[in-house]
Amino acid sequence: MSPPISISEAKTSYPIFAATFAHNHAGYLVVGGGGGPGRSGVGNKITAFDVSSRAPKLEPSAELELSRDEDSVTCLANLATKDGLVLYAGLNSSPADRDANKNEHFRSFELEYPKKKQARKNEKVTSQLSEAKISFLSKTSLLKSPESVPAKKDGYQRLLRLSRPKRSANGSKRIGAIASSLAGQENEIVVFNATTSSPKAPGDIIQRISPHHGEEANDLDILEPEDGEFKLVYCTDYSVYTADISYDFSKKKSREKLEPPRSKYSVPFPDVFEKKGRNKIRCVRWLSPSHVLLLSNSPNRTGAELQILRLYGDTMGSITYRKTLPRHIKQATDLDVCVLDADENGAYQIVIGVAGADCSTSIFTIDYKGTAKNSLSGFCHYNTVRDVHPFQITKVVFSPFFSPWTAPNAEKIKQLGPQYLRLASTSLGNTIVVDTMTLQPASNKPRSRFILGALGSRANKFASYLLALIVLLISIMLAQPLVDPEGVWTQALVPESIRNVVNSFNPIEVPIDDARAAAHSAIPEAVREPIARTSHRLRDLLHLHHSDKHKEEGKTKAVIVRADPESDYMVSTEVHDGPEAVIQQHTEAKRWDELNHEERSWWKEKLTSAGAWTVEEGETVLKSIFFGQIGGFVGQMAQEVLNG
Q: How confident is the model at residue 529 (pLDDT cuts 50, 70, 90)?
A: very low
Do the domain assignments include residue 385?
yes
| Section 422-439 average pLDDT | 96
Quote the pLDDT of residue 601: 82
Lowest mean pLDDT among 10-19, 204-213, 464-473: 464-473
Q: Any idea what DSSP says for residue 45?
A: E
Q: How confident is the model at residue 123 (pLDDT cuts 50, 70, 90)?
A: low
Neighbours of 583 (CB within 10 A): 16
Do the domain assignments include residue 453?
yes
Quote the pLDDT of residue 478: 65
* Higher-confidence position of 160 and 631: 160
| Section 89-100 average pLDDT | 93
Reported as half-sphere exposure (CB side, CA atoms, 13 A), residue 90 has a value of: 24
Based on the domain organization, do 304 and 432 belong to the same domain? yes
| Section 547-566 average pLDDT | 62
Q: How confident is the model at residue 571 (pLDDT cuts 50, 70, 90)?
A: low
* Higher-confidence position of 515 and 88: 88
Q: How far apart are CA 123 and CA 131, in angstroms?
A: 24
Q: HEC profile for 307-328?
A: EEEEEECCEEEEEEEEEECCCC
Neighbours of 101 (CB within 10 A): 11
Based on the domain organization, do 500 and 585 belong to the same domain? no
Do the domain assignments include residue 433?
yes
Do the domain assignments include residue 140?
yes
Based on the domain organization, do 198 and 69 belong to the same domain? yes
Lowest mean pLDDT among 469-473, 485-489, 612-616: 485-489
Based on the domain organization, do 296 and 262 belong to the same domain? yes
Based on the domain organization, do 464 and 446 belong to the same domain? no
Based on the domain organization, do 476 and 589 belong to the same domain? no
Residue 87 reports pLDDT greater than 80: yes
Residues sharing a CB contact under 8 Å with residue 118, sequence separation 6 or more, in sequence order: 125, 126, 127, 128
404: left (phi over 0), alpha (psi -120 to 50) or beta: alpha
Based on the domain organization, do 436 and 503 belong to the same domain? no
Based on the domain organization, do 494 and 582 belong to the same domain? no
Based on the domain organization, do 471 and 324 belong to the same domain? no
pLDDT tens column, 99-116: 888 999 999 999 999 987
Structural domains counted in the chain: 3
- What is each CA distance from 212 to 71, 135, 189, 485, 634, in whole angstroms? 28, 38, 11, 61, 48
Final residue belonging to a domain, choices 470, 487, 508: 508
- What percent of the chain stands above pLDDT 90? 54
> Which parts of 12-72 are beta strand (E)?
16-21, 28-34, 44-50, 60-66
Q: How far apart are CA 473 and CA 516, in angstroms?
A: 12
Q: HEC profile for 215-266?
A: CCCCEEEEEEEECCEEEEEEECCCEEEEEEEEEECCCCEECCCCCCCEEEEE
Quote the pLDDT of residue 488: 43
pLDDT tens column, 293-335: 999 999 999 999 999 999 998 899 999 999 999 999 999 999 9
Residues sharing a CB contact under 8 Å with residue 414, sequence separation 6 or more, in sequence order: none
On whether the CB atoms of residues 294 and 300 are closer than 8 A, the answer is no
CA 232 to chain centre: 13
Which range of residues forms the domain containing residue 501?
Answer: 460-508
Based on the domain organization, do 279 and 356 belong to the same domain? yes
| Section 548-575 average pLDDT | 62
CA 385 to chain centre: 20
* Higher-confidence position of 162 and 491: 162
Quote the pLDDT of residue 406: 86
Q: What is the CATH number of the domain that holds 167?
A: 2.130.10.10
Based on the domain organization, do 564 and 439 belong to the same domain? no
| Section 219-238 average pLDDT | 96
Neighbours of 199 (CB within 10 A): 22
Residues sharing a CB contact under 8 Å with residue 207, sequence separation 6 or more, in sequence order: 190, 191, 243, 245, 254, 258
Do the domain assignments include residue 583?
yes
Q: Is it true that the peptide bond before 299 is cis, omega within 30 degrees of 0?
A: no
Amino acid at 298: S
* Higher-confidence position of 587 and 357: 357
Q: How confident is the model at residue 564 (pLDDT cuts 50, 70, 90)?
A: low
Do the domain assignments include residue 480?
yes
On whether the CB atoms of residues 561 and 538 are closer than 8 A, the answer is yes
Lowest mean pLDDT among 35-44, 193-202, 490-499: 490-499
Amino acid at 49: F
Quote the pLDDT of residue 497: 45
Q: How far apart are CA 413 and CA 562, in angstroms?
A: 55
Do the domain assignments include residue 120?
no
List the helix and strand counts (H, then E) for the chain: 10, 36
501: left (phi over 0), alpha (psi -120 to 50) or beta: alpha
Based on the domain organization, do 229 and 147 belong to the same domain? yes
Do the domain assignments include residue 596?
yes
Quote the pLDDT of residue 482: 47
Residue 76 reports pLDDT greater than 70: yes
Residue 536 reports pLDDT greater than 80: no
Identify the CA nearest to 328 among candidates 363, 347, 304: 304
Quote the pLDDT of residue 507: 35
Neighbours of 478 (CB within 10 A): 11
Q: How far apart are CA 204 and CA 191, in angstroms?
A: 9
Residue 362 reports pLDDT greater than 70: yes
Quote the pLDDT of residue 456: 41
